[in-house]
Amino acid sequence: MSSEVENDDFAALDVCHDHTPHSAAMNMAIDEALLEYATIPLIRFYRWRSSALSFGYFGRFTDIARYQCERDLVRRWTGGGIVFHGEDLTYSLVIPASDTAFAESSISIYEKIHQALCDALSETGSRAVVAGVVDCDPGSATVATRTGISDAGYSCFANPVRADVMIDGRKIAGAAQRRTRRGLLQQGSIQGIDLESDLAQRFARELSTDRSERKVDEKILNRARELAEQKYGTESWLRKR
């Protein structure tokens, strides 16, 4: 059970509901730009301009090339496998290195965020649990799989790993991370369930009692446009491996 006393995963949290649909490259670029400028933990909820597919930094382009004609493809800065986007609720959470939460292990942060999501889902009667399927780091280059798909190209939602969110044995939320000297970025997707209009608000509420609403300002957007043009939107980045 969650409560106003228990849900202080972060002492303070900026919350951004980004209602402007972006291209896949721009979404990834905004996430990186937010990490560059973050001074306190921030969560951004966002959607996609068109059907998209993101795959982890260590993934192989050949594993997703067949989708190029039907989806907006992008290589993430974070790890993990293939995620299909379009009908999902996607979020990014950034933790600056100056925040005390940054000192925690990656898997501990992953688990805490997903427990908060489970608590938010439980408010509507959903019996969501944090899984203990495979003992692995969500940012790792190699993740155990249950299918014949290679580690680099595994489908995230077909292959639950430790601390993913499950309902009735089915994965409905997963995430991947990137840790730098500036901070930690976690990118997550929630899908395969009825995404009620207030799920994002309830999720944020479970993460912190001290929340401030903010927008993606022009400084972030300008930096993101640079990153999209020079990195995420380029063929060299897409075909890096």
Write out the residue range of the structural domain in which residue 186 sits: 13-238
Query: Residue 41 falls within a domain, yes or no?
Result: yes
Share of the chain above pLDDT 90, in %: 77
pLDDT tens by residue, 11-60: 999 999 999 999 999 999 999 999 999 999 999 999 999 999 999 999 99
Predicted confidence at residue 153, as pLDDT, reads 53
Give domain status of residue 1, yes or no: no
- Give residue-wise pLDDT tens across range 109-150: 999 999 999 999 998 888 999 987 333 444 443 333 322 223
Tokens found for residue 181: 């000297």
Residue 211 covered by a domain: yes
Instruction: Judge whether 4 lies within some domain.
Output: no
For the chain, count helices (H), then strands (E). Answer: 5, 11
Query: Among 16, 69, 136, 156, which one carries the catalytic annotation?
Result: 156
CATH of the domain at 52: 3.30.930.10
More confident call, 153 vs 212: 212
The mean per-residue pLDDT over the stretch 83-92 comes to: 95
Q: What integer is the mean pLDDT of 155-175?
A: 85
136 has catalytic annotation: no
Residue 2 lies inside a defined structural domain of this protein: no
- State how far the Cα of 216 lies from the Cα of 199, in Å rounded to an integer: 20
For 34-43, the pLDDT digits (tens) are 999 999 999 9
User: In whole angstroms, how far apart are CA 39 and each of 96, 120, 175, 182, 237?
Assistant: 6, 26, 22, 10, 28
* In a domain? residue 3: no
* Least confident residue range of 34-38, 54-58, 159-163, 184-188: 159-163
Residue 8, in any domain of the structure:
no
Q: Please check whether residue 26 lies inside any domain of the structure.
A: yes
Looking at the chain, the whole-number percentage of residues with pLDDT higher than 70 is: 87
How many domains would you assign to the chain? 1
- What is the model's pTM? 0.87
**Where in 83-240 does DSSP place strands (E)?**
83-85, 89-96, 128-130, 165-167, 170-179, 183-190, 211-213
Q: Which residues contact 228 (CB under 8 A, 6 or more apart)?
A: 23, 25, 26, 28, 29
